Chain A
């Protein structure tokens, strides 16, 4: 009887432990299940953290996200075939170089800072005024080389007036000096930019509303 009691006790303890694990596991899956960063829509786009909607590039492009602030808000990277550095990155950057609220002035300054640390001797090959989603913008095409590091780069940049601020979309393709640039990654970038929608007011738009409400 004593032995039977002991046996039952062990089983009882085991059952309690299993039940506890079950409850804890339930808590973990119910409470901490992370929401996907990108949620596909019926429109062929994705919702990014419920903040932006855009057409993403194919799955072989890696997502780059920056949740703690930094040089960009979100982006994608493709490692391509060929010698280093054969890759293309593109991103949405809500705080491009410079402080001017004037597009022309900002573009002029931006070109003095963009890829500066790479040592690439960058030149603007084309600059034009465009409209993106009804917003005034400047599209910059840039190319340059760094023979010392056997690297070259080709970029497309959109500086876009959004309210009182300027935001940017940037695509850069890197190649060794004897490499050939590919158009397809830039096409994905254009699709990304043309489809990009803001789903929420950003911090600055909200702040400016608060300032107006406060009579400032």
Chain B
């Protein structure tokens, strides 16, 4: 999240926007965002339908030793201007990879080589 925050000025130049999605409730997300001084929105999706829609399943067992739910995992999704999913990657995001992809998509959108 901090890495995305650091790169916001580049996302802006690339005409891209960042949206975080969490199964935590809005108040928890609010404190989380404030603690990291995040300058992009975090969406609260408590029932997890967005995670399910984007196939963001965890590679861990469905329940942790303490009974906590591990149903969904971290996944980066890049959606283009036409609403087409152009990139999916599990685990921690690779910002350099994402920025290069966004540059490619923006050039593609503008008809540049």
> When A100-B37, A109-B37, A207-B10 are in contact, do A214 and B106 touch as well, CB less than 8 Å?
yes
B103 within 8 A of A: yes
Picked from B15, B39, B100, B110, the residue with its CB within 8 Å of the CB of A99 is: B39
On whether the beta carbons of A164 and B9 are closer than 8 Å, the reply is yes
Check if A211 sits within 8 Å of B13, measured CB to CB.
yes
0/1 interface trace, chain B 50-82, chain A, CB 8 Å (1 if under): 000000000000000000000000000000000
A158-216 residues at the B interface, CB under 8 angstroms: 164-165, 203-204, 207-208, 210-211, 214-216
- Contacting B6 at CB < 8 Å: which of A69, A99, A210, A215? A99
- Kindly report which residue of chain A lies nearest to residue B112, judged by CB atoms: A214
Chain B: which residue is nearest A108 at the CB level?
B37
| Closest B residue by C-beta to A165 | B6
Q: Is A118 an interface residue (CB 8 A)?
A: no
Question: Which residues of chain A are near B15, meaning CB under 8 Å?
Answer: 216
Q: How far is the CB of B47 from chain A (nearest CB, A)?
A: 30
Q: Which of A69, A98, A101 is in CB contact (< 8 Å) with B2? A: A98
State whether the Cβ of B23 lies closer than 8 Å to any Cβ in chain A.
Answer: no
Cβ of A100 to closest chain B Cβ, rounded Å: 7
Q: Nearest B residue to A212 by beta-carbon distance?
A: B13
Output the nearest chain B residue to A203 by Cβ-Cβ distance: B96
User: Residue B107 at the A interface, CB < 8 A?
Assistant: yes
Query: Would you call B14 an interface residue if the criterion is a C-beta within 8 Å of the partner chain's C-beta atoms?
Result: yes
How far in angstroms is the closest Cβ of chain B from A103? 14
Contacts of A208 in B (CB 8 A): 10
Q: Which residues of B contact A216 (CB under 8 A)?
A: 13-15, 103, 106
**Chain A interface (Cβ < 8 Å from any Cβ of B):** 69, 95, 97-101, 109, 164-165, 203-204, 207-208, 210-211, 214-216
Q: B9-30 vs A: 1/0 string, CB under 8 Å?
A: 1100111000000000000000
Q: SS class of chain B's interface: helix, strand, loop or mixed?
A: helix
Beyond A99-B37, A203-B96, whether A211 also contacts B10 by CB under 8 A is: yes
B2 in contact with A207 (CB, 8 Å)? no
Known: A207-B99, A211-B103, A214-B106. A101 touches B37 (CB 8 A): no
Whole-angstrom CA separation of A208 from B99 in the bound complex: 11
Docked CA distance A208–B14 (Å): 10
Task: Give complex CA distance A101, B107 in Å.
Answer: 26
Instruction: Jot down 6 A-B pairs with beta carbons below 8 A, ordered by A.
Output: A98-B2, A99-B39, A207-B10, A210-B103, A214-B107, A216-B13
Instruction: Determine whether the beta carbon of B2 is less than 8 Å from that of A97.
Output: yes
B90 within 8 A of A: no
Nearest-CB distance from B98 to chain A (Å)? 11
- Nearest CB in chain A: distance from B37 CB, A: 6
Cα distance A208–B96 in the bound complex, in angstroms:
12
Point out the residues of chain A lying under 8 angstroms from B84, CB to CB. none
Question: A99-B38, A216-B106 known; 18 other A-B pairs, CB under 8 Å?
Answer: A95-B3, A95-B6, A97-B2, A98-B5, A98-B6, A99-B5, A99-B6, A164-B9, A203-B96, A207-B10, A207-B99, A210-B103, A211-B10, A211-B13, A211-B14, A214-B106, A214-B107, A216-B14
